[in-house]
Structure 1
Amino acid sequence: MIKILFSVSLLCVLLSSCNKPQTDAQVAQKPTETNVFGTDFKEQNLLSVTQLQDAVADKDSVQATVSGEIIESCQSKGCWMDVKLADNTNMKVTFRDYGFFLPVKDLKGKTVVFTGTAKREVISVEDQRHYAEDAGKTAREIAAITTPKEELRFVADGVKLK
């Protein structure tokens, strides 16, 4: 009788602790204890956004680890973030090969450290409108985007939320 009760109890515990399997995207979004997304990295030779702007000014691209403040992020999937630059413009940060995403809520104003590649790019009207839609901008704000623009971009291999 004790064996039967033990077996039934064990079965109940096992069944109650099972959840449906997570998708790859859900696993990729799950932070570690230190809020690391993507590849973990050491915070060595850390650049401010001002130092990054200076470093990329006369180069094609720069490998760097950077610290900054998030001012906006994708509210659909968490597939990009805008980081405030020293001149009050934004730098779009995307994630290498869409290999990971960030949580989509409560990122504005958070400090972030990320590592990867920075470069200047011309952003098409279509891409600007796509990002504006992801950010929840109004139809009027999206329609007002009519010209390509050059901006500093960053493709991150890893991100740490502070």
Structure 2
Amino acid sequence: MKHIFIAISLMFSIMSCNNSDKNTDAVELVEVETTELAYASFGDKIEADNALTAAEINEKYKNMKPGDTLQTKVMAKVNSVCQAKGCWMRLGLDNDEEVMVKFKDYGFFMPKNIADKDVIINGKAYVTEVSVDEQRHYAEDAGKTSEEIAAITEPKRTLSFEADGVLLIED
């Protein structure tokens, strides 16, 4: 009887040691997972490293003229997305500026519900002058009112970007 009691006591102490090790491993695993960002990828596969901030790309755009291009990667917040198909999006830059993003060869589209989410885009930055008709088309796609659409009366210098790949930062 004494031997059975010792064996049972020994077994419980071994099991309790194993349980504490498992809890420690689980805590360490959770800490590792929370330090990594999750991305949904669209278009070409791209990496998240070396992306310019919204302020940095805004400074580069200030020195560009229509016809200039810059191959780059940018991280910024989505202001709006085409509500018809997700075929374009506008990203916020500093000083209430926006960059109009289209997707290379219409090869992919973005989800329509990603306003206020952060993205990393890779591709070509450039400056264009957008006609009144094209501005009105984009305003209609964005769900603007008829009064807002009618108020568009002049061509506009637009900061543009043709993305070949996008990473959507998931919460």
TM-score bin, normalised by smaller chain: 0.7 to 0.9
Query: Residue 159 of structure 1: CA displacement?
Result: 0.6
Q: For the residues of structure 1 that align with 2:39 and 2:77, how far apart are their CA atoms? A: 18
| Mapped contact 2:48–2:167 kept (Cα < 8 A) | no
Quote the residue 1:99 is aligned against: 107
Q: Are positions 1:114 and 2:115 aligned together?
A: no
Two-structure CA RMSD over aligned residues (Å) = 1.3
How many residues of Structure 1 are paired with residues of Structure 2 in the alignment? 129
Q: Please say which of residues 108-117 and 41-50 is displaced more in the overlay.
A: 41-50
5+ long unaligned stretches in structure 2? 1-37
Quote the residue 2:40 is aligned against: 35
% identity of equivalent residues: 43
Match of 1:45 among 17, 25, 50: 50
Q: For the residues of structure 2 that align with 1:58 and 1:130, how far apart are their CA atoms? A: 28
Query: Residue 43 of structure 1: CA displacement?
Result: 1.9
**Highest CA radius of gyration, 1 or 2?**
2
Alignment of 1:13-162 (within 5 A): 34-59=39-64, 60-104=68-112, 106-162=113-169
5+ long unaligned stretches in structure 1? 1-32
Query: Residue 42 of structure 1: CA displacement?
Result: 1.3
| Letter matched to residue 80 of structure 1 | W
Query: Residue 103 of structure 1: CA displacement?
Result: 1.1
| Letter matched to residue 154 of structure 1 | F
- Calculate the TM-score normalised by the size of structure 2: 0.72
Q: For the residues of structure 2 that align with 1:160 and 1:49, how far apart are their CA atoms? A: 15
Q: For the residues of structure 1 that align with 2:156 and 2:73, how far apart are their CA atoms? A: 25
